[in-house]
Amino acid sequence: MIDYAILSCRTLNMLTRRHFTKGIVGSLFASQVEGFAGIKGLKKPSVLDPDRGIEGKGWSMVVLPDTQNYAKFAKNQQHFDLMTEWIRDHIGAWNIKAVLHEGDFVEQNDIKEGGGRGWGEQNSASQWRSAQRSMSTLYGHVPTILTTGNHDYGIRNAETRETQFNNHFGLTDNPLVCDGKGGGIWREGFPNSFGAVTLENALYTFDAPDGRKMLVLSLEWGARDEVVEWAKSVLAKQEYQDHFGILLTHAYLNGDNLRDGTKGHQSGNPHTYPTGKNGQTTNDGTELWEKLVKVSPQLKLVLNGHIMGRHVGYRKDAADGGHKVHQMVFNAQGLGGGSDERGNGGDGWLRILTFEPNGKELSVRTFSPLRQKLGKDMWNTGDDHDFVVSV
């Protein structure tokens, strides 16, 4: 049996692309009261010219929220193109070292015709091609770190664990992630539900300009128990003990600043989807906190999308080691006129996380290349979109 966890980037490249297609291969509320709801009173980051960026002062990562509403309408697909083109063209200005996508690349994973009124007129093949095209703009320019969302599985919405994600986002597509020769930021992965090592569950590390050793752990939608156990075992390795860790997953925190699974709060909880029923294991935000985040001293930041409503949320909690963990949800899919045919897919919003040169602060800014192009307010300076936290 292949030990997928220790396969090198070069070895995995020898596996044919067909191995990564869908299915071919083989109480808790009390624990949340430490976090504070809302972020009013936090320091605001400085206002910057988006085209000039940080001018060499610090370094950044960019977070892309759910992009399904760009993919499902032909008229909106160009907006996701614009977002990734802007990132590519401003890598130097913002000293961007990684781009993270929070999942839900498409509205429906496997439909042959458009989803109907409000659900888009594009079939799944068109949606996946659009997402692939937009993301490929970044390949060879900046590392891309991806996670999967509920809409990336099943037919329309996580009816099964089958996905076309791996047909369009292969391990070696971006050479800065894995070049097939041992290079790139990808370190190891854990098999998906069908036994293939893909980008669904992956560990990445890189050295940041400020000397930090960065680690990003990306976990599949509603991570299975065995995935969480793998993640814990990876973080227990001695070689990663001195890293600044980030967990990237689709569902974790909600817009009311509570984690999925909080008593009486089940909106968007992975346990309510077919992939979390019928004997299948899954883990919600509270379970990820209890089993993985709070017991892993490297994890200092959690990023997720998924939830609509307020679209944003933030909380800070003390982990078992005493350090603080910042947890943020950011999802713009319903902005820009709504998520149906009236909307533009999400107003082009993306999030820029800048590690400041003082080594102590992380500035969170929310920017829209689309609104910049249209001559509208391009910065969202609301409290939930524009703030500074201590790291």
**pLDDT of 32 higher than 50:** no
pLDDT computed for residue 115 by the predictor: 73
Domain boundaries, the chain: 4-390
Contact of 102 with 303, CB cutoff 8 Å: yes
Place of tokens 């929220």: 65
Question: What's the pLDDT at 264?
Answer: 65
Q: What pLDDT, in 10s, does the model give residues 143-175?
A: 999 999 999 999 999 999 999 999 999 999 999
DSSP state at residue 332: -
Q: Which CATH class is domain 4-390?
A: alpha beta
Q: What percentage of the chain carries pLDDT values higher than 90?
A: 80
Residue 260 confidence (pLDDT) above 60 = yes
For residues 220 and 165, is the Cβ–Cβ distance under 8 A? no
Which residues neighbour 271 within 8 Å (Cβ) at sequence distance 6 or greater? 222, 261, 277, 282, 284
Checking if the pLDDT of 1 tops 70, the result is no
Interacting residues of 261 by C-beta distance below 8 A, sequence separation 6+: 28, 269, 271, 284, 285, 286, 287
pLDDT at 62: 99
**pLDDT confidence tier of residue 31, bands split at 50, 70 and 90:** very low
Strand locations in 117-266 (E): 144-146, 186-191, 197-207, 213-218, 244-248
Distance in Å from the first CA to the final CA of the chain: 42
Q: In the chain, pLDDT over 70 holds for what percent of residues?
A: 89
Cα 370 to Cα 55: distance, rounded to the nearest angstrom: 22
pLDDT digits (tens, 9 = 90+) for 104-133: 999 999 999 887 767 899 999 999 999 999
Q: Strand 59-64 and strand 350-355: pairing?
A: antiparallel
Q: From CA 305, how far away is CA 327, in angstroms rounded?
A: 11
pLDDT over threshold 80, residue 234: yes
Q: pLDDT tens digits for 297-328?
A: 999 999 999 988 778 999 999 999 999 999 99
- Taking the C-alpha atoms of residue 66 and residue 130, their distance in angstroms, rounded to an integer, is 14
